[in-house]
């Protein structure tokens, strides 16, 4: 029996693990450090871009757009964090608009998930809320809102991780082991 190519678990894994790690920082549990930056480049960025390109090859425009766009989000975010030129450093207002735009994009992607499984709706729904909360946190310069966003992000990342594991196990066992 030949298995069908399914890059979604890789993309969900990249999104899930990176989102959890970053939002452990946003929740105030750890500082922003090289572990988050490395995960953002490797799993959040590259793994999702690879998964997105493979989704496009399968004629899945939703999966291709989602994974490629969010992979590029992670790489751009890491570039913002590691900027050493003070004259072009991102201020809170700039970051607020950056996150707001990603929230708007995610809101439209969430609408697309209304035709998908419950796990996809939960993952994109919490991601949408996360981006909007992070934008509000930056616009208002509110550590409390950013911390709340961190917990929303941990939940959203965990739902993506669950989706990746469920797809892998369900395919391996040829039956629903973990419902989506």
The secondary structure element, H or E, covering residue 60 is none
Res. 88: pLDDT tops 70: no
Q: Work out the burial of residue 42: count CB atoms within 10 Å of its CB; fewer than 13 is exposed, 13-18 middle, 19 or more buried.
A: middle
Query: Where in the chain are the domains?
Result: 8-173
3-state secondary structure of 58: coil
Res. 170: pLDDT tops 80: yes
The confidence score (pLDDT) of residue 1 equals 55
**Percent above pLDDT 90 for the chain:** 86
How many Å apart are CA 114 and CA 53, to the nearest integer?
Answer: 23
pLDDT tens digit sequence for 5-24:
899 999 999 999 999 999 99
- Global confidence as pTM: 0.87
Cα dihedral 116, 103, 44, 95 in deg (nearest 10)? 180
């Amino acid at each position: 029996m030949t298995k069908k190519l399914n890059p979604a678990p890789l993309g969900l894994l990249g999104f899930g693990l990176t989102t959890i790690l970053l939002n452990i920082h946003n929740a105030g549990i750890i500082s922003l450090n090289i572990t988050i930056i490395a995960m953002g480049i490797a799993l959040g960025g590259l793994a999702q871009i690879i998964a997105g390109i493979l989704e496009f090859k399968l004629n899945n425009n939703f999966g291709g757009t989602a994974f490629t766009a969010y992979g590029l989000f992670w790489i751009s975010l890491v570039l913002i964090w590691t900027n050493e030129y003070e004259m072009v450093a991102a201020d809170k207002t700039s970051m607020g608009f950056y996150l707001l735009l990603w929230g708007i994009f995610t809101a439209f992607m969430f609408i697309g998930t209304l035709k998908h499984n419950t796990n996809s709706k939960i993952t994109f729904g919490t991601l949408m809320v996360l981006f909007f909360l992070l934008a509000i946190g930056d616009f208002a310069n509110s550590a409390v809102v950013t911390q709340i966003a961190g917990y929303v992000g941990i939940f959203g990342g965990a739902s993506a991780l669950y989706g990746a594991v469920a797809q892998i196990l369900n395919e391996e066992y040829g039956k629903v082991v973990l419902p989506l």
